[in-house]
Amino acid sequence: MLLTKKVALVTGASRGIGRAIALGMAQEGANVVVNYLHSEEKANEVARGISQYGREALVVKADVSSPSEVERMRKLTLEKFAGVDILVNNAGTHHHLKSWEMDLAEWKRVLSVNLDGVFLCTKAFNPEMRAKKWGRIINISSIVGFTGTDHEAHYAASKAALIGLTKSLALELAQYGVTVNAVAPGWIETDMTSGMTAEDRKKGLELIPLRRIGRPEDIAYTTVFLASDLASFITGQTIHVNGGEAMF
């Protein structure tokens, strides 16, 4: 197993990509902190799945954009596991709006979760990594951070900014044996994409050379690899998982 005796914290782990990552970490030997904000029952389902792999799970409700709630999550994690080895910043939010349709509050709401949340969680959970000279931080960005999008500029802006944050954190933490990388998913079958019409899905598939929609597990496999010792010489990078939809 790639992650035996490791502890992973996955934000936004109750569903979709976060759920797949949490279960993937457990399957490879890690105990997992399951963070959620709204879906308590789904988070508990993920915890039950983790226990089926013989791993321990800690379920914590916390808004990653709130410094006080992140600090509470840190304290609970330290009580249970004495810190984390792997931090996956997956929690995110979006809202389909043209830029002229959103007000400043909506803009700040998306940036506070998608960008501020990564900053706050990284700041809270990297001290133990630095102390033991080993750690993995993996930030979930998006293809639209590179291509842009015509319906949610705030989301694209947050995901693009996350790339710069990832590179800067990688430079800061390299001397401590901590790697920091990002994963940029393309079109993945999750709740966020479930409302698409048949026509939109047909058009979308035509843009993907592999001619299929991605699965949450496709992101989980990549994240598990980056969290393992197999990726010990990779830092400051963004791994694109999009079926060839955009090649950089």
What separation in angstroms does the CA of 162 have from each of 3, 182, 203? 25, 8, 28
Instruction: List, for residues 226-235, the tens digit of each pLDDT value.
Output: 999 999 999 9
Q: What is the CATH number of the domain that holds 232?
A: 3.40.50.720
Dist CA 226 CA 179 (whole Å): 9
Does some domain include residue 215? yes
Catalytic residue among 36, 155, 176, 221: 155
Low-confidence ranges of the chain (pLDDT < 70): 192-194
Q: Is 175 exposed, middle or buried (0-12, 13-18, 19+ CB in 10 A)?
A: exposed
Q: Hey, how many other C-beta atoms are within 10 angstroms of the C-beta on 92?
A: 25
> How many distinct structural domains can be found in the chain?
1
User: What pLDDT, on the 0 to 100 scale, is given for residue 94?
Assistant: 86
Does some domain include residue 186? yes
Does some domain include residue 1? no
Does some domain include residue 246? no
Does some domain include residue 2? no
Instruction: List, for residues 23-43, the tens digit of each pLDDT value.
Output: 999 999 999 999 999 999 999
Does some domain include residue 247? no
Based on the residue annotation, tell me whether 36 is a catalytic residue of this protein.
no
Instruction: List, for residues 55-73, the tens digit of each pLDDT value.
Output: 999 999 999 999 999 999 9
Does some domain include residue 36? yes
User: What pLDDT, on the 0 to 100 scale, is given for residue 77?
Assistant: 98
Does some domain include residue 117? yes
User: What pLDDT, on the 0 to 100 scale, is given for residue 201?
Assistant: 83
Strand arrangement of the beta sheet that strand 135-140 belongs to: 57-61, 31-36, 7-10, 86-89, 135-140, 178-185, 238-241
Range of the domain at 218: 7-241
Instruction: Note the pTM of the prediction, 2 decimals.
Output: 0.95
User: What pLDDT, on the 0 to 100 scale, is given for residue 192?
Assistant: 65
